[in-house]
Amino acid sequence: MIKKLLLLGVLMNGKMHGYRLNEYVKHTMNFYKDLTKSAAYYILDQLEKDGYVTYATEREGKRPERRIYEITTKGKNHFLELLRECLGNYTPTSFGDDIGAAFIGRLPAEEVRNLLVNKRRKIQDQIEMYKGVGDHEGNLQYVINHNIAHLKADISWVDEILKNIGEENQ
Amino acid sequence: MIKKLLLLGVLMNGKMHGYRLNEYVKHTMNFYKDLTKSAAYYILDQLEKDGYVTYATEREGKRPERRIYEITTKGKNHFLELLRECLGNYTPTSFGDDIGAAFIGRLPAEEVRNLLVNKRRKIQDQIEMYKGVGDHEGNLQYVINHNIAHLKADISWVDEILKNIGEENQ
DNA sequence: TATAATATAGTCTAATCTGAATATTCCATA
DNA sequence: TATGGAATATTCAGATTAGACTATATTATA
């Protein structure tokens, strides 16, 4: 559902073929990491079956054929429906790293400390990455800020655990 | 992978049958919403095939048969491996709601405002829910704090957008 | 200029996941 | 005491996903 919204949303900007769509998501909407190539192609198929998009086949030089997807009127309406649903609801997020935290007591404090320092570094790298890309066009800036805010919350969280582990082990 | 860690982790506390495992995750580890009943059964099958768990079939009264799963030594080692991996790495999170935000300009500001107010309320409800459950045993408290921190970041984020939309539309 | 690496464009299979279905028992309530 | 709903316990078919694979073109490198 969210992935359909994503693909329809990109197609709202104009026609695009599958490969380009994937590149676009990968580079411009890089904050969303849950869409793989093949899933995108699969979803485009679904969207086409439901009449939300149509495609024309074309070929450039001797490269493989490609399908230029275009959103239909029905698709535009559907996009707006999905958008309303997305904006008016809250999608609860599961954090995989919570599972590790829940079982943290199963490893010696010393080892946990080292592991968490690594985690912290990787979170910091992500933050630098987002800061590095500079300003995005309008709405995307919201998304970047959102992700940075969450990453900072993660840093604080790791620090809280590190602090607690430190105290327990004196 | 994360789901295997979760199930093995619960089984580290002792034997349990599938149904009970699901109940446990649903109630005690309710911060993790990405494990459905049937997925859990599927993963238990996998774990059994890989020798990480064994099971004994039993029946209580005339209820359906059930499988009591028990973690093996191999399983315990695997659990620790997965735990190290989880604690020492950072799993990037994708926020579905970001997709909506990215296309926010496709709806009139007035409508967006109303929708976001709804979203905000739902986030607030989640926060109350977490605060309502009270103190958890040791490590789970970390996880609850983590989730509350993220929810608060979401509230601030929504407020930021609301503020911006307000200004644009004067 | 041969060779390697990357970009283009998408397909395919096997693994995984979801939601509905099954079948019994327990409990409340009318 | 009949009846409807929740709890127990899992299975199954069909939807979805991930990751490897195909095949050519272009660019970089030695």
- Determine the pLDDT at residue B135: 67
* Separation CA A34–CA A21 (nearest Å): 14
Long-range pairs of B28-36 with CB within 8 A, sequence gap ≥ 24: B28/B140, B29/A102, B29/B140, B31/A94, B31/A95, B31/A98, B31/B130, B31/B143, B31/B144, B31/B147, B32/A94, B32/A98, B32/A99, B32/B6, B33/A92, B33/A94, B34/A94, B34/B3, B35/B3, B35/B6
Show which of residues 129-158 on chain A sit within 8 Å of chain B, judged by CB atoms.
138-140, 142-143, 145-147, 149-150, 152-154, 156-157
Cβ atoms A20, A98 nearer than 8 A = no
- Determine the pLDDT at residue B168: 64
Which residues of chain B fall short of a pLDDT of 70?
Answer: 61-62, 134-135, 168-170
Q: Is the CB of A67 under 7 A from strand C?
A: yes
Helix (H/G/I), strand (E/B), else coil: B56: strand
pLDDT > 90 in chain A, percent: 86
Nucleotide with minimal C1' distance from the CA of A1 is D16
* Separation CA B91–CA B66 (nearest Å): 34
B20 exposure class (CB count in 10 Å sphere: 0-12, 13-18, 19+): middle
Residues of chain A with C-beta less than 8 angstroms from the C-beta of B164: 142
Residues of chain B with C-beta less than 8 angstroms from the C-beta of A92: 33, 126
List the single best residue of B32, B35, B93 to mutate versus A (max A Cβ within 10 A): B93
Contact B9 A102 (CB under 8 A): yes
Residues of chain A with C-beta less than 8 angstroms from the C-beta of B145: 157, 160
* Separation CA A141–CA B105 (nearest Å): 13
Lookup: tokens for A22: 């994937």
B17 CA – D7 C1', rounded, Å: 15
Sequence-distant (≥ 6) Cβ neighbours of residue B7 within 8 angstroms: B21, B40, B43, B44, B47
- Determine the pLDDT at residue A132: 81
- Determine the pLDDT at residue B37: 96
**Candidates A87, A99, A119; nearest CB to B89:** A119
Show which of residues 65-104 on chain B sit within 8 Å of chain A, judged by CB atoms.
79-80, 83-84, 86-104
Sequence-distant (≥ 6) Cβ neighbours of residue B62 within 8 angstroms: none
- Determine the pLDDT at residue A58: 86
- Determine the pLDDT at residue A88: 97
Q: Please check the confidence at residue A170 and state whether its pLDDT lies above 70.
A: no
* Separation CA A33–CA A30 (nearest Å): 6
Question: If you measure CA to C1', which residue is closest to nucleotide C8?
Answer: A63
Handedness of CA B49, B55, B59, B60 (dihedral sign): negative
B83 exposure class (CB count in 10 Å sphere: 0-12, 13-18, 19+): buried
Lookup: tokens for B15: 């034997």
Sequence-distant (≥ 6) Cβ neighbours of residue B33 within 8 angstroms: A92, A94
Contact B92 A126 (CB under 8 A): yes
Nucleotide with minimal C1' distance from the CA of B40 is C17
Contact B122 A32 (CB under 8 A): no
Q: Please check the confidence at residue A52 and state whether its pLDDT lies above 90.
A: yes
Q: Which residue intervals of chain B are DSSP H helices?
A: 2-11, 18-27, 37-49, 73-88, 96-102, 109-132, 138-168
**Candidates B31, B34, B102; nearest CB to A9:** B102
- Determine the pLDDT at residue B170: 41
Which residue of chain A has the CA closest to B35?
A94
Q: How wide is the angle at C-alpha B157 spanned by C-alphas A86 and A159, nearest 5°?
A: 120
For residue A104, the 8-state DSSP code is: G
Which residue of chain B has the CA closest to A136?
B102
Q: What are A102-144's pLDDT values in tens digits?
A: 999 999 999 999 999 999 999 999 999 998 876 677 789 999 9
* Residue A126: CA count within 13 A, CB half-sphere: 27
Which residue of chain B has the CA closest to A161?
B142
Q: Please check the confidence at residue A91 and state whether its pLDDT lies above 80.
A: yes
Cβ atoms A97, B6 nearer than 8 A = no
The residue type of A37 is K
Q: What is the residue whose two structure tokens read 């995108």? A: A40
* Separation CA B75–CA B90 (nearest Å): 23
Q: What are A146-163's pLDDT values in tens digits?
A: 999 999 999 999 999 999
Query: Distance of CA B22 to CAs A9, A23, B25, B34, B112, Å?
Result: 36, 39, 5, 12, 38
